[in-house]
Structure 1
């Protein structure tokens, strides 16, 4: 017995159903049955690998998709295989598989083809380029990754993930050039709008079934694919005019009428194939087919009535195909002949039993429509025709449809009469009309103007400027992404002030969201405005109490502000929410570090890096604790792990420089500090450290240049001004040093080192009174340094200019 092919079809439908409803274990079981049913089918292998990937079983998904991916037979298998390679860190295998299958995905574009009722379970070129960029970036090929990300954004400017990764690579980006409508998008939306305005009337006389009926019929159809539907009915405006499933979804159930001069022939609810996987923008509808003359003759014979000769209809070029041919000759029907004949819809029906009629009897509506240029004559109804039509319900329904056609017909060139060609339909069942429209048409048989007005009322729903409004909506979205993207780009380059200004331009309802607030908090943190950063992080926690992302930065902000209670509370709150979250363990480690329990802090940071081996900041914090314990070898290893996890992690480069500085290797420390400053050129602390190592290498003038640059970057930085003042003192530029110290005294009035330095400057200027006064203030502020300060006071009469005093800047760790 041959296998039933519908078994595999039903299994696919069930798999898609479970995947759509996030019932992945069910989908995995059914995918196993499908793979057993069709072991050589690449689609079955793809679904089985996809289900394992959704469940996080990377190695299993890798095994099931590898064979088909290496052969390049199925794009889905290749894409799943590349995703598993990214997770398993076998980057080159994924890159090779995607490049080998380039012919399968190059040129595909599924933008605006996803909706609530339509899916595309295969990727397009933008998605593949984004994944390819991630693989190149992970393998260290940053330039190739940038090329892939840019290509993805060119195809789809809404590919936000590609933009974030592009910024993280350090590439120079102009957001205004990235987030803009592509020519394909503009063309697509204009064509869709044209389809909405010109194609609705052609689908209205024979509309598709209602949404509810379609959903029921699709559910019972074996071959229905909810991700990529293989069938869409002929009245679908998105199908008739090359639109997407989203366009169809937006327009289904809305009665729209066309203003074209000739209705489309053979327009019925027959199902047609949906837009294929070729990508690109769908083409417009094919030209209208001319009306076949034999249909006109068969309809006249079936009507059981004599049709007078008609004059040729004056039509323009757009309706020329429907008016070609000679005049219709007069037809007759034998009396009493009762035969089975086909109606216009193609159904078999009984012909009318009576054909003889009064010469003055009313002609059929279709004839009057075609004879619209002739003058209307008052007529009387024919009782025989009425009784005959009542006995034939199908003919009656067709008459109602013709009335609708007449009502929605297009004016002639003079605008006074309607010239409508006959709709020749292949529909097997006349489409039902709404009760309201039918009642209005029946009540207005005596008034041609009233009928047209009533039926055309829903036409206002299809606005002629819908295309422009769609483009305007897309432009609004792209402008929003451009503003947010500009802020993130500046933040990725540590241009904190520019980032905050960019985020301030975001609309209020979007700015007051957790993601934007977190970016603004990070910008304040990088700018060492810890109070503002804390306030924003507090608002984020109020909006999203379970948020874990970026909470390690929040804990570091609290560490800098020395808020032990708040930091401990945050750590407990995060660990209770998710014990397997690395950010939670970082918060606990910061809490121990603030209490100077460095060993416990190291354990917490190690746990964080175990949970996420790519968590660069966890390695950096671990290195800081090793430096506090003077375990420099372990600190070097931790900082190197941080740089390996993220090459642009400037904190790791700073940590390496600090370790080498403490080890006395100033030249190596300078190189690492400069590498950190190249990544983050706006951080005043990094510039100060470069100046410090230069000063220790006796390069005072170069050090002064670095200190001056640090003061320009952050005029509020007390450390920068203090180091600048000391460099000026070494260069004997005492008045400049005194001016810097006076400014520093206002910034840090309770700092003992500031007053001690002022005393030394006044000592060098031979101002003993001022020197004694500032030495005394320093002695009161720091009694622990009383012996050293007293020794300096005793040497007021000496010319000793030794200023090797230390300034405690350990709290300036990044």
Structure 2
């Protein structure tokens, strides 16, 4: 006789979850295939097998398995996996449509502060879905729409770092200090998690206390401080998208006031599934009509978990372990009545009752049941309570003898034995914070007042922000301030304001500064400022900390190329190739090494290999274009630069390369256009200003060229080329004194440049300083003997008038 199918399916679910949690993806895929054979029409099964294929990188298989459930729009997990597969397969519009179709399943979800070592949410919340929608729209070329999705994701969860990075890379103006800040919803969630005791069997609820949104100005908006709750874009209760997302954001209650007058406890069999252990969706159901799998029996009481140790700020999480132990003991005590009150146990496929139990009886027994009602109607024997309490006390004493008294005081529990009884629900009635006001029967007005006063007295210590809650808020504030500082540095770097970025990144703590990511950003900032020696030192430090890191190594290889360190560059490329042969950064380093040795054809092959490995790697296309320019293959260079711009529209190097090609082809109008496009992206690069000035000079626009050179000198006072070009234009405009001043400064920057002394000699002639002219022309002849004939002609013509001054003398 064949075994009961739901029982087999339940076992397969447990096996799949086990292998997924331990990253044995092939094992998970194998058992997901067995489950799909048993339940081919179940959306939960389709989600699991599609998820396994997605984690293994089988994007087309994940796309196929999740496609049918996506069409119905009734399973969030399938839609999310389908959208991720579409992102990898470049089917961006299909993925966005699938997520929008099931908006009702994720619009009000918020899983912040609900993930831990033993609890996780396998279904995405609104912030995660919005971030994925932003990625899909950005990849599809809808930059503005994608930026809107990223902004909404950050409003719901400021820890969506990749959404913030994508906004910066898209060129969206931001105020990072307003993005990373504590919201009212965070405060309420922290207060609720620290002050209330939630039963482990209860379902997830996005707003457990039923608080309504405050109708006050100052609604949190990290992208516009001036907007208020009266703004139709943020107004709560409205029909628009932001109203639906922010419609029930509760505010932190005032000190000394209770959190809420609704002392509801979530029902044991509500409308939402427990997402930390459930891989299915609330509206998904087995289409085969088979009864659900039986509930999983609870295991023995778990041991305590050691606290996480952080460097800053210095805090001791007091009540977290105590609350966890109390909850676990409560769960163990309540298993004695599991047969009478079905609950959503962890990783139950559908949350239905075991075979033989009708759904109507389940709903009538469990829906709307309060904790007080359960304790009243289902008392547990005293022997069971004392046994649970003794186990709890013995574990607590052996784990942490110092932490427990503080935890007891913070949670209002007198002693360990009392705690065991209170948690298991034997002798003491539940605290008023766990009751429903409807369950309180007013015998008289005087007794009702006394009851409310007594209940508020018991809740008051929880709202007065006890030490554990203050520590939690302090940790959250410290983490957000760190993200704000790093985010501000990244934002300034994305705007190519490198000096500001360096000041911010250098100001972080040593423990954070000496990390690979921060050092990589500092190295990039030095590279953009053309401070190649400093950039090389920073990247070398980074490689000592993370020798296997390949990210940003294409920048390091370019730095070594500029420094002409052939041995170091060859060694770096060899190491990167050993680390990961399929890394595009490694092939860029190899290409730069060949380019340093003037083997341009070999370099082009390496850069093409990098673009094959990552078609969105814009810098590899740019380097390939540079090599084509070196080979004077201008048509191929234009094609490579255009591919770079297609991969990243804000990649200013590609625009610069196009301008360089058109300048060499003599198409100065087109060259100016591309140079200006590059300068608009990177407004702090003096080289781009000089390039624009050169084109303007060729177009006989000397005054406009002078403005560009002046701007370049202001951006980089030590730029020898910018100051030289400025002095030359001043000579053309017959402003010799100003030109002489610029050349005197330039002489100190580049004392061995013969052209500087030659121009000083010409200017001295214009200023009727014959002695100075002879001096500087003689120095120029000594520095550049090859130019001696031309310099001698200048010496012989010192007595001639300035009317014969020609521009060719300065070329």
Same fold at TM > 0.5: yes
Relative to structure 1, is the Cα distance of residues 663 and 399 closer, same or farther in structure 2, using a 3 angstrom cutoff?
closer
Q: How much has 1:186 moved relative to structure 2?
A: 0.6
Partners of 1:192 and 1:467 within 8 A in 2:
no
Partners of 1:13 and 1:224 within 8 A in 2:
no
Q: Kindly name which structure, 1 or 2, has the bigger radius of gyration based on alpha carbons.
A: 1
Name the residue aligned to 1:753. 755
Name the residue aligned to 1:68. 69
Cα distance in 2 for partners of 1:570, 1:806 equals 42
Cα distance in 2 for partners of 1:286, 1:253 equals 21
Deviations 1:740-792 (Å, cap 9, x if unpaired)?
00000111111222222222222322333322332232233233434443444
Partners of 1:16 and 1:225 within 8 A in 2:
no
Name the residue aligned to 1:155. 156
* 1:641 equivalent among 637, 640, 643: 643
Cα distance in 2 for partners of 1:17, 1:397 equals 31
Deviations 1:510-562 (Å, cap 9, x if unpaired)?
01101001101111111111121111001001111111100111111112222
Cα distance in 1 for partners of 2:388, 2:727 equals 97
Q: Is residue 658 from structure 1 mapped to residue 666 from structure 2 by the alignment?
A: no
* 1:803 equivalent among 791, 803, 807: 807
Partners of 1:269 and 1:427 within 8 A in 2:
no
Name the residue aligned to 1:329. none
Relative to structure 1, is the Cα distance of residues 100 and 497 closer, same or farther in structure 2, using a 3 angstrom cutoff?
same
Deviations 1:656-712 (Å, cap 9, x if unpaired)?
111111111111111111111111100111111111111110100011011111111
Within a 5 Å distance, the mapping from 1:81-480 to structure 2 comes to 81-195=82-196, 227-228=277-278, 250-251=321-322, 254=325, 272-273=343-344, 286=370, 288-289=372-373, 345=380, 464-480=466-482
Partners of 1:586 and 1:604 within 8 A in 2:
yes
Relative to structure 1, is the Cα distance of residues 153 and 226 closer, same or farther in structure 2, using a 3 angstrom cutoff?
closer
Q: How much has 1:597 moved relative to structure 2?
A: 2.3
Partners of 2:327 and 2:423 within 8 A in 1:
no
Name the residue aligned to 2:79. 78
Partners of 1:13 and 1:225 within 8 A in 2:
no
Cα distance in 2 for partners of 1:251, 1:805 equals 85
Q: Is residue 739 from structure 1 mapped to residue 741 from structure 2 by the alignment?
A: yes
- Runs (4+) of structure 1 moved beyond 4 Å? 223-226, 229-237, 246-249, 252-258, 266-272, 274-277, 284-287, 289-292, 393-401, 407-410, 422-428
Name the residue aligned to 2:542. 540
Q: Which runs of 5+ in 1 are unaligned?
A: 201-222, 238-245, 278-283, 296-343, 348-392, 429-458, 808-814
Name the residue aligned to 2:402. none
Cα distance in 1 for partners of 2:689, 2:615 equals 30
Partners of 2:50 and 2:81 within 8 A in 1:
yes
Cα distance in 1 for partners of 2:172, 2:336 equals 52
Name the residue aligned to 1:310. none
Q: Is residue 495 from structure 1 mapped to residue 488 from structure 2 by the alignment?
A: no
Cα distance in 1 for partners of 2:172, 2:189 equals 31
Q: Is residue 51 from structure 1 mapped to residue 43 from structure 2 by the alignment?
A: no
Cα distance in 1 for partners of 2:199, 2:62 equals 46
Higher RCO, Cα 8 Å, sep 6+: 2
Cα distance in 2 for partners of 1:567, 1:698 equals 42
Q: How much has 1:566 moved relative to structure 2?
A: 1.7
Cα distance in 1 for partners of 2:474, 2:754 equals 62
Cα distance in 1 for partners of 2:334, 2:13 equals 31
Q: How much has 1:84 moved relative to structure 2?
A: 1.1
Deviations 1:89-138 (Å, cap 9, x if unpaired)?
11111111111111121111111222221222111111111110001001
Partners of 1:694 and 1:700 within 8 A in 2:
yes
Name the residue aligned to 1:506. 508
Secondary structure at the aligned position of 1:613 is classed as: coil
* 1:527 equivalent among 515, 529, 540: 529
Partners of 1:268 and 1:427 within 8 A in 2:
no
Cα distance in 2 for partners of 1:494, 1:425 equals 60
Partners of 2:594 and 2:600 within 8 A in 1:
yes
Q: How much has 1:468 moved relative to structure 2?
A: 2.0
Q: Is residue 626 from structure 1 mapped to residue 635 from structure 2 by the alignment?
A: no
Cα distance in 1 for partners of 2:521, 2:786 equals 42
Relative to structure 1, is the Cα distance of residues 501 and 275 closer, same or farther in structure 2, using a 3 angstrom cutoff?
farther
Relative to structure 1, is the Cα distance of residues 395 and 589 closer, same or farther in structure 2, using a 3 angstrom cutoff?
closer
Within a 5 Å distance, the mapping from 1:652-731 to structure 2 comes to 652-731=654-733
Deviations 1:610-648 (Å, cap 9, x if unpaired)?
221111001111111111222111111111010000000
Q: How much has 1:801 moved relative to structure 2?
A: 2.2
Within a 5 Å distance, the mapping from 1:6-21 to structure 2 comes to 6-21=7-22
Name the residue aligned to 1:390. none
Q: Is residue 22 from structure 1 mapped to residue 23 from structure 2 by the alignment?
A: yes
Name the residue aligned to 1:591. 593
* 2:765 equivalent among 738, 763, 766: 763
Cα distance in 2 for partners of 1:135, 1:73 equals 21
Cα distance in 2 for partners of 1:708, 1:395 equals 83
Secondary structure at the aligned position of 2:185 is classed as: helix
Name the residue aligned to 1:31. 32
Within a 5 Å distance, the mapping from 1:768-807 to structure 2 comes to 768-798=770-800, 799=802, 800-804=804-808
Name the residue aligned to 1:602. 604
Cα distance in 2 for partners of 1:175, 1:23 equals 39
Deviates more, 1:5-14 or 1:778-787: 778-787
Secondary structure at the aligned position of 1:745 is classed as: helix
Relative to structure 1, is the Cα distance of residues 234 and 176 closer, same or farther in structure 2, using a 3 angstrom cutoff?
farther
Relative to structure 1, is the Cα distance of residues 779 and 601 closer, same or farther in structure 2, using a 3 angstrom cutoff?
farther
Partners of 2:675 and 2:688 within 8 A in 1:
yes
Q: How much has 1:61 moved relative to structure 2?
A: 1.2
Relative to structure 1, is the Cα distance of residues 423 and 768 closer, same or farther in structure 2, using a 3 angstrom cutoff?
closer
Q: How much has 1:252 moved relative to structure 2?
A: 5.6
Partners of 2:587 and 2:609 within 8 A in 1:
yes
Partners of 1:16 and 1:226 within 8 A in 2:
no
Cα distance in 1 for partners of 2:696, 2:99 equals 49
Partners of 1:636 and 1:659 within 8 A in 2:
yes
Cα distance in 2 for partners of 1:131, 1:609 equals 24
Deviates more, 1:485-494 or 1:592-601: 592-601
Deviations 1:59-94 (Å, cap 9, x if unpaired)?
111111111112212111111111111111111111
Partners of 1:620 and 1:638 within 8 A in 2:
yes
Aligned pairs, how many? 630
Partners of 1:119 and 1:226 within 8 A in 2:
yes
Cα distance in 2 for partners of 1:399, 1:742 equals 87
Partners of 1:16 and 1:227 within 8 A in 2:
no
Relative to structure 1, is the Cα distance of residues 276 and 682 closer, same or farther in structure 2, using a 3 angstrom cutoff?
farther
Relative to structure 1, is the Cα distance of residues 35 and 723 closer, same or farther in structure 2, using a 3 angstrom cutoff?
same
Partners of 2:720 and 2:746 within 8 A in 1:
yes
Name the residue aligned to 1:517. 519
Deviations 1:278-325 (Å, cap 9, x if unpaired)?
xxxxxx995745986x99xxxxxxxxxxxxxxxxxxxxxxxxxxxxxx
Relative to structure 1, is the Cα distance of residues 636 and 515 closer, same or farther in structure 2, using a 3 angstrom cutoff?
same
